[in-house]
Amino acid sequence: MPYYTYRPVTILSRKDDDSMKCKTESREKILTAAAMLFQIKGFNATGLNEILSESGSPKGSLYYYFPNGKEELALEAIQLSSKSIQKRLNASLNKYASPIEAIQFTIKNIAEDMEKANKLKDISISLIALETYFSSEPLREACKEVFEILENMYSKKLIESGIPKKIALELGMLIQVMIEGAITVSLTQRNVTALLVVSKHVDILLSPYIQSK
C-alpha cells in the first residue's frame, strides 16, 4: 500500500490577500518615493522622514520593509531608478536608426526636462554616486553597474550601425561620460549649454566611423 504524507493546504482568505496586496503597495510607495528623492536631492540630503512623507506611509513602516535602514533602501532605489532610466534611454535610442540622431535626441530630451524642472528624475544617478562612492562600497558598486549598463546601451546602438565592437565600446563609454559630465555642469550653471555642446559634438565624434563603415 502506498504511503502518503498529509500536508495541510493553507488557503488565503480574501482578507489575507488584500492585506498582502496592501503591504506590497505600501513598500512600493516607499521605494518609489526614495528613488525619486535620491535622484533629485542625493543620498545625504534626503531624510527618512521626508521619504515617508512623500510616500504617505506611517512612521515605522520604513524599517518594517527595509530593516537594514537607509542603505538597504538606497540599494533597491538605485535598481528601480536604473530600470526607469534604461526604459527612457531605450525609447530614445530606438527613435532613430542613425546613432547620431538617436543620441542627439536623447540629449535633447534630457535638456528639455532639466530646463522645465532642473531635476534628475529618470535622468541620472550622479548625485547618489558622487555622495556614496567613498562611504558605502555596496552603493558604489550598485552605481557602477548602472553606469556600465548605460554605456553598453550606447555601445550596442553603435555596433548595430556597423561600428566595430572594440571601438563602439570605447565610444559608448565616452558618450556616457560626456553626458553625465554635462548633466552635472548644467545643474551647477542652471542652464543646459553644456548638454547642447555635447549634442553638437556627438556628430563630430561619430561621423568618421559611420561614414567609413
Measure the CA–CA gap between 71 and 120, rounded to whole angstroms.
20
**Quick one: how many helices (H) and strands (E) in the chain?**
9, 0
The per-residue pLDDT for 87 is: 96
φ, ψ for residue 36, nearest 5 deg: -65, -45
- pTM score, whole prediction: 0.86
Low-confidence ranges of the chain (pLDDT < 50): 1-4, 6
> Alpha-carbon distance 137 to 134, whole Å?
7
Which of 142, 134, 125, 144 minimizes the C-alpha distance to 183?
A: 125
Q: Cell 552635472 appears where?
A: 184
Which of 133, 148, 121, 119 is CA-nearest to residue 44? 133
Structure confidence at residue 120 (pLDDT): 82
Residue 57 — left, alpha, or beta (φ > 0 → left; ψ -120 to 50 → alpha)?
beta
What integer pLDDT is reported at residue 59 of this predicted model?
85
What pLDDT is recorded for position 203?
Answer: 95
**Cell numbers given for 45:** 540630503
For residue 51, how many C-alpha atoms fall within 13 Å in the half-sphere facing its CB? 33
| pLDDT (0 to 100) of residue 118 | 63
Contact 151, 143 (CB under 8 A): no
- Phi/psi region, residue 118 (left: phi>0; alpha: psi -120 to 50; beta: rest), is left
* Angle of CA points 103, 204, 192, to nearest 5°: 55
Q: Which three cell numbers stand for residue 178?
A: 560626456
Domains of the chain, residue spans: 14-211
Distance from C-alpha of 203 to C-alpha of 108, rounded to nearest angstrom? 14
Judge contact between 62 and 100, C-beta under 8 A.
Answer: no
Top CATH class, 14-211: mainly alpha
Query: What is the distance between the alpha carbons of residues 164 and 166, in angstroms, rounded to a whole number?
Result: 6
**Three cell numbers, residue 176:** 556616457
Taking the C-alpha atoms of residue 124 and residue 126, their distance in angstroms, rounded to an integer, is 5
User: pLDDT, tens digit, for every residue of 26-73?
Assistant: 999 999 999 999 999 999 999 999 999 999 999 889 999 999 999 999
